[in-house]
């Protein structure tokens, strides 16, 4: 039997220090993160929630009007939590810049920040957002001002990206190619050159014909300036990664009751277990449970057909049909979730019904929070 | 609000974008089937290296080659191609440089990924270059090999960058083979032969992204095609009942009377449940109507595609294609 995911004990436990909400795109990670943080604050904890790309109205409801990369206390009329709630939106570019500023001297930092290649990497390389989310999490932990940090993850296709992307970015920044392409003569990878032989210099030539000499020059300057601080970068990412494995951290996997989202959730659950990372459980978001549970769909449809034939009672006919639709959706969702729990019987689960409209204010978040807690 | 226009009928390259997860791949496939209906030959292309087409059509991964994957009513055929940026780069380099076996080794070592990291625009230029080649290719009779090409494109957040080859070229070499090729791509993408369709859902964020994308496309002088509203749920309530019901006012006595007339004698609890379900339905319908109104600000042809409760399999693609054909797609 699958256990029910119980959030309140988790949120109340002072040993719970970091909750990471993961899942594939659009399933409700940001909403869940915000709702959990709000609930924890109302139950008395001092909480900060790190959101990434929240829907605009949701951001506004938390008092976030712009990216300012620092947590702000949520001050909203009528909101008087027992604890405290802080919120912020990740600004990946600023986070990256700050990181460079911390690790490099002023002059060198300026040189890096103005390098076109750095600008590309820091704003559009896939993986930067994940890396910076981890970096920011590391900073929030280090600041030690909150007793619970709830983290949202970037809207990537795959939940695994959150764990893998930082590694990918480090590999590129630290890679042999970047060294060879930018300064082949200086390259230390003699063995590598031997394997690839003349193919490599051909490749370099070809690539520079395509991308142009300027870009290679920029890349080279960047690598030279960046080299000395890279160790610091990698260590930091490594430390945050370790943090994700520590006892105070828990992962909340969010999925919609749809095949793709549940498949992603499956991969992620398996990965967490392989990495010994602590999983709290699965949130099955936006489900459509039947409310009038005693009326079977077939019976409702037959009656609706009767009414339609007689032309009487169009309202009742409509009610019967929308009920039958809902039963069909709920059945499918139940089947899909059952498939997940069969494969992962040990994973605790809680379903959160779809609210009829988007969630964009504190009341909506509070409602989601209640559902998360199984109220 | 109009459906498919004459202008869209003239397009030969249909680019399908939309927020992540809204149904780009599904709708691109259905659109390919719809365009092929009646005996035409259509090519469906994907560019993100995810083998989404193969998955959707429930078959083995596609090689980097065009393959026939489906027939359409009336003797039409859909072919598919998964363009792989790395293969395209190697193919391209091989045209100008003799890389020999080194090509494969470099690929294994991640050199290609590295080159495209260095110049992200490079990947896009290679992909769109290959698309153009497919669109313009002619058979021995001098006629276009494909009557239409449908591109399952990157999501709205990236699509303008992807299609704005002129910008991408600014990062690349000012001379050389790739430059010449890209000029043809720019011509195609900015011409009446190309339409960029946007898949939307009737929810806040997808609608907002759609409108943003329309503005961005306009600014980049690319032509927005149609808005394809996906996963539309049926509206069951009579129009006049929606707004009252959304406020929580459902006449339970009247519902009860109707149910009794149909021979259903339900307990109070079930009746209350039905009323609650009705209120939720009405609120959702209302918020979807608001989303629809917002979308109509884009002033683009709009086609609605139904939510398929049993999920999407190959048969469902034909069902969606029929809806598109009925809306005038040809
Ligand atoms: N009309 C529909 N009815 C029911 N389900 C649908 C419909 N359209 C799409 N889906 C489902 O929604 C999910 C996402 O669809 P799809 O993969 O086509 O989206 P996408 O926009 O290509 O996603 P990505 O951004 O990841 O490429 C799939 O599981 C698909 O089966
Ligand atoms: N349980 C729910 N009921 C209704 N709407 C929801 C629910 N959960 C999420 N949403 C809506 O779905 C959309 C996507 O949610 P979001 O949290 O931004 O997803 P993600 O962060 O995973 O991309 C938002 O518009 C949000 O308001
Ligand atoms: Mg989000
Ligand atoms: Mg897709």
Residue B279 in any domain: the answer is no
Look at residue B50 and tell me whether its pLDDT is greater than 50.
Answer: yes
CB proximity list for B329: less than 8 A, separation 6 or greater: B4, B8, B31, B34, B35, B303
Lowest mean pLDDT among A166-170, A278-282, A341-345: A166-170
Look at residue A192 and tell me whether its pLDDT is greater than 50.
Answer: no
pLDDT tens by residue, B110-142: 666 666 766 777 788 889 999 999 999 999 999
* CB hemisphere CA count around B166 (13 angstroms): 8
Mean pLDDT across chain B? 90
The average pLDDT across B265-286 equals 96
| A198 contact residues in B (CB cutoff 8 A) | 102
Asked whether the beta carbons of B199 and B230 are under 8 A apart, the reply is: yes
Given this model, what pLDDT does residue A195 score? Answer: 46
Residue nearest to atom 31 of ligand 1 (CA): B312
Q: Based on the number of CB atoms within 10 Å of its own CB, is A144 exposed (0-12), middle (13-18) or buried (19 or more)?
A: exposed
| B177 contact residues in A (CB cutoff 8 A) | 209
Q: Assess A301–B contact: CB distance below 8 Å, yes or no.
A: no
| Yes or no, beta carbons of B97 and A202 under 8 Å apart | yes
Look at residue A127 and tell me whether its pLDDT is greater than 50.
Answer: yes
Q: What is the DSSP letter of B256?
A: H
Residue B285 in any domain: the answer is no
Confidence label for A177 from pLDDT (cuts 50, 70 and 90): low
Given this model, what pLDDT does residue A22 score? Answer: 94
Closest ligand 2 atom to Cα of A27: 22
Whole-number Å distance, alpha carbon A32 to ligand 3 midpoint, is 9
φ, ψ of residue A251 in degrees (nearest 5)? -100, 135
Query: What CATH code is carried by the domain that includes residue B98?
Result: 3.40.50.300
Return the residue in A157, A158, A203, A314 with the most chain B beta carbons within 10 A, the one to mutate for interface testing.
Answer: A203
Residue B280 in any domain: the answer is no
pLDDT tens by residue, A201-239: 666 666 666 666 677 777 777 777 777 776 777 777 788
Beta strands B67-72 and B76-82, pairing class: antiparallel
Residue B275 in any domain: the answer is no
Look at residue B296 and tell me whether its pLDDT is greater than 60.
Answer: yes
Residues whose Cβ atom is located within 5 A of ion ligand 4? B 24-25, 52
Mean pLDDT across chain A? 86
**Three-class DSSP labels, chain A:** CCCECCHHHHHHCCCCCEEEEECCCCCCHHHHHHHHHHHHHHCCCEEEEEECCCCHHHHHHCCCCCCCCCCEECCCCCCCCCCEEEEEECCHHHHHHHHHHHHCCHHHHHHHHCCHHHHHHHHHCCCHHHHHHHHHHHHHHHHCCCCEEEECCCCCCCCCHHHHHHHHHHHHHHCHHHHHHHCHHHCCCHHHHHHHCHHHHHHHHHHHHHHCHHHHHHHHHHHHHHHHHHHHHHHHHHHHHHHCCCCCEEEEEEEECCHHHHHHHHHHHHHHHHCCCCEEEEEEEEECCCCCCCCCHHHHHHHHHHHHHHCCCHHHHHHHHHHHHHHHHHHHHHHHHHHHHHHCCCCCEEEEECCCCCCCCHHHHHHHHHHHCCC
Lowest mean pLDDT among A58-72, A159-173, A360-374, B165-179: B165-179
Asked whether the beta carbons of A352 and A283 are under 8 A apart, the reply is: yes
* Helix or strand run (H / E) with residue B88: helix B85-96
ipTM associated with this complex: 0.89
Mutate to test the pocket of ligand 1, among B16, B21, B50, B209 (most ligand atoms within 8 A of CB): B21
SS3 B304: strand
Residue B250 in any domain: the answer is no
Q: Which residue has the higher pLDDT, A228 or B45?
A: B45
Q: How far apart are the first and last CA of chain B?
A: 18
Residue B10 in any domain: the answer is yes
Residue in B105, B251, B277 nearest the CB of A195: B105
Closest ligand 2 atom to Cα of A352: 1
Compute and round to an integer the Cα radius of gyration of chain A: 25
Look at residue A190 and tell me whether its pLDDT is greater than 50.
Answer: no
For residue A180, count other CB atoms closer than 10 A to its CB: 23
For residue A176, count other CB atoms closer than 10 A to its CB: 18
Residues framing ligand 2 (Cβ under 6 A): A 23, 25-31, 55, 155, 285-286, 352, 354-355, 358-359, 368; B 203-205
pLDDT tens by residue, A4-34: 999 999 999 999 999 999 998 889 999 999 9
Confidence label for A187 from pLDDT (cuts 50, 70 and 90): very low
pLDDT tens by residue, B211-230: 999 999 999 999 999 999 99
Look at residue B84 and tell me whether its pLDDT is greater than 90.
Answer: no
What pTM did the predictor assign? 0.90
Identify the CA nearest to A300 among candidates B322, B180, B278, B112. B278
| A322 contact residues in B (CB cutoff 8 A) | 236-237, 277-278, 281
Total tally of structural domains belonging to chain B: 1
| Yes or no, beta carbons of A313 and B254 under 8 Å apart | yes
Domain range for B47: 6-235+298-326
Percentage of residues of chain A with pLDDT beyond 90: 54
Residue B242 in any domain: the answer is no
Residue B261 in any domain: the answer is no
Look at residue A189 and tell me whether its pLDDT is greater than 50.
Answer: no
Q: How far is B268 from chain A (nearest CA, A)?
A: 10
* Cα angle B130, B135, B136; round to 5: 100
Residues whose Cβ atom is located within 5 A of ion ligand 3? A 30, 155
| Yes or no, beta carbons of A210 and B178 under 8 Å apart | yes
Given this model, what pLDDT does residue A201 score? Answer: 67
The average pLDDT across A334-358 equals 94
């Amino acid at each position: 039997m699958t256990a029910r995911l119980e959030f309140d004990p988790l949120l109340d436990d002072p040993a719970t220090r970091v909750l990471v909400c993961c899942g594939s795109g659009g399933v409700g990670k940001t909403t869940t993160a915000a709702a959990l943080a709000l609930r924890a604050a109302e139950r008395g904890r001092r909480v900060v929630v790190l959101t990434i790309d929240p829907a605009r109205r949701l951001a506004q409801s938390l008092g976030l009007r712009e990216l300012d990369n620092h947590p702000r206390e949520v001050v909203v009329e009528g909101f008087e939590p027992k604890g405290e709630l802080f919120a912020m939106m990740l600004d990946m570019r600023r986070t990256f810049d700050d990181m460079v500023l911390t690790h490099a001297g002023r002059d060198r930092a300026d040189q890096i920040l103005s390098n076109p290649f750095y600008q590309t990497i820091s704003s559009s390389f896939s993986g930067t957002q994940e890396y910076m989310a981890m970096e920011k999490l590391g900073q929030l932990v280090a600041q030690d001002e909150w007793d619970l940090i709830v983290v949202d993850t970037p809207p990537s296709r795959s939940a695994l990206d959150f764990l893998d992307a930082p590694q990918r970015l480090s590999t590129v920044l630290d890679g042999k190619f970047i060294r060879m392409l930018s300064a082949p003569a200086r390259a230390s990878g003699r063995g590598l050159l031997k394997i690839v032989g003349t193919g490599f210099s051909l490749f370099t030539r070809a690539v520079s014909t395509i991308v142009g000499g300027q870009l290679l020059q920029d890349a080279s300057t960047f690598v030279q300036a960046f080299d000395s601080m890279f160790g610091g970068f990698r260590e930091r990412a490594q430390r945050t990664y370790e943090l994700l494995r520590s006892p105070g951290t828990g992962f909340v996997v969010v999925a919609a009751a749809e095949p793709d989202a549940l498949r992603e959730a499956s991969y992620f659950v398996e990965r967490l277990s392989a990495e010994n990372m602590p999983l709290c459980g699965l949130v099955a978001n936006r489900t459509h449970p039947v409310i009038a549970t005693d009326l079977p769909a077939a019976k409702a449809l037959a009656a609706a057909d009767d009414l339609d034939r007689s032309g009487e009672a169009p309202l009742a006919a409509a009610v019967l049909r929308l009920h039958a639709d809902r039963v069909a959706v709920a059945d499918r969702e139940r089947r899909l979730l059952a498939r997940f729990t069969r494969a992962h019987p040990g994973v605790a689960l809680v379903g959160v019904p779809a609210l009829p409209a988007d969630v964009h204010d504190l009341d909506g978040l509070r409602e989601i929070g209640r559902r998360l807690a199984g109220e | 609000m109009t459906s498919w226009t004459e202008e869209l009928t003239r397009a030969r390259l249909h680019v399908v974008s939309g927020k992540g997860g809204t149904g780009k791949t599904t709708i691109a496939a259905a659109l390919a089937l719809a365009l092929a209906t009646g005996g035409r030959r259509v090519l469906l292309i994907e560019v993100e290296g995810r083998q989404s087409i193969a998955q959707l059509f429930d078959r083995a991964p596609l090689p980097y080659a065009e393959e026939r994957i489906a027939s359409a009513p009336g003797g039409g055929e859909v072919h598919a191609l998964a363009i792989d940026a790395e293969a395209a780069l190697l193919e391209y380099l091989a045209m100008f440089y003799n890389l020999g076996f080194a090509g494969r080794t470099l690929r294994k070592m991640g050199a290609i990924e590295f080159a495209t990291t260095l110049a992200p625009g490079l990947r896009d230029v290679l992909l769109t270059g290959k698309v153009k080649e497919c669109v313009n290719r002619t058979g021995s009779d001098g006629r276009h090999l494909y009557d239409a090409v449908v591109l399952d494109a990157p999501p709205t957040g990236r699509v303008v960058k992807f299609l704005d080859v002129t910008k991408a070229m600014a990062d690349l070499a000012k001379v050389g083979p790739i430059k010449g090729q890209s000029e043809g791509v720019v011509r195609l993408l900015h011409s009446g032969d190309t339409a960029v369709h946007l898949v939307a859902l009737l929810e806040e964020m997808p609608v907002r992204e759609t409108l943003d994308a329309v503005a961005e496309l306009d600014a980049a002088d690319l032509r927005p095609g149609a808005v394809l509203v996906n996963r539309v749920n049926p509206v069951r309530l009579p129009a006049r009942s929606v707004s009252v019901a959304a406020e929580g006012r459902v006449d339970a006595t009247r519902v009860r009377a109707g149910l009794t007339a149909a021979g259903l004698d339900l307990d109070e609890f079930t009746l209350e449940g039905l009323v609650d379900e009705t209120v939720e339905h009405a609120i959702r319908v209302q918020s979807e109507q608001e989303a629809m109104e917002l979308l109509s600000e884009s002033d683009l042809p709009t086609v609605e595609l139904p939510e398929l409760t049993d999920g999407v399999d190959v048969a469902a693609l034909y069902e969606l294609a029929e809806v598109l054909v009925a809306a005038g797609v040809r």
